[in-house]
Amino acid sequence: MLNNVFKNKINNGELTFGSWCQVGHPANVEILANAGFEWLVADCEHGEFEDSDLGNFCRAVCLAGKVPLVRVKENAIMPIRRALDLGAVGIIVPLVNSAEEVAKAVAAAKYPPEGVRGFAFHRGNNWGVDFAEYVKNANKAIAVIVMIESKEAVENIDEILQTDGVDGVFIGPYDMSGSYGIIGQTDNPLIKEACSKVAIACKKYHKTAGAHIVMPNSENVDSAVKQGFHLLALGMDTVFLANGAKQALEMMQND
Ligand code: 3PY
Ligand code: MG
């Protein structure tokens, strides 16, 4: 169940595309997996996901041969433990602003002695069948990614990336725009400059540079790749549905 394929890929700086699910139904996973995304994120911070949806989310992602990741609802022990126990192979932790906060997320995600994760039988280790194997590999194989979504985090990017156990970062463009006082202006030069600083720091410290491009188009995806981002989440189930529906109606109105 747990292997190093995803983590090796991101740590090697390979370009990889995934997407984001806000609706906690496995059908959305199947649809996005069919489209070809390599990994999918369950959004427990802003999406309609309960803990009880996460097992089925991970099941559906694995059945489709893709990688299940969870954006936990907050930087705390239990949401991180639940996501991993239910089968996530990586966690994305929102609103991390300092090295201290990174250390807290890392501790929650790692078994002792590196962290405080509790030992048990759970879906992640095949309900105990693969207990020993899972415990042996988990600290290495599970990706810990923190979200950079504020001016403070951008200012602290060096200490954030130098914290033990963090694999990389993910830009949250909307929170970032709010923090810079330009709510929703995700393409504003101030945000681009902040993203560039983050990408350069990731390169310096050999960490994964990720970004969520909520409303993807060829320009913003191309620009993120050129800046050095290689872990790219494109869109979300809700955005794809809304855009597809709107396009169909516009087509009829233009006829
Ligand atoms: C943000 O834009 O703030 C996000 O968290 C996107 O996932
Ligand atoms: Mg955010």
CB 112 within 8 A of CB 81: no
- Annotated active-site residue 46? The verdict is yes
2, pLDDT greater than 90? no
Please report which ligand is nearest the Cα atom of 42.
1
Does 87 sit in the ligand 1 pocket, CB within 6 Å? no
169, pLDDT greater than 70? yes
1, pLDDT greater than 80? no
> DSSP character for 48?
B
pTM of the model: 0.96
State residue 254's pLDDT score.
74
Domain span at 66: 5-254
Query: Which H or E run contains 210?
Result: strand 208-213
In the chain, the number of structural domains is 1
Minimum CA distance residue for ligand 1 atom 1: 172
**Separation of CA 148 and ligand 1 centre (Å):** 9
Largest CA distance in the chain: 65
Q: What is the CATH number of the domain that holds 217?
A: 3.20.20.60
Q: Tens digits of per-residue pLDDT, 210-232?
A: 999 999 999 999 999 999 999 99
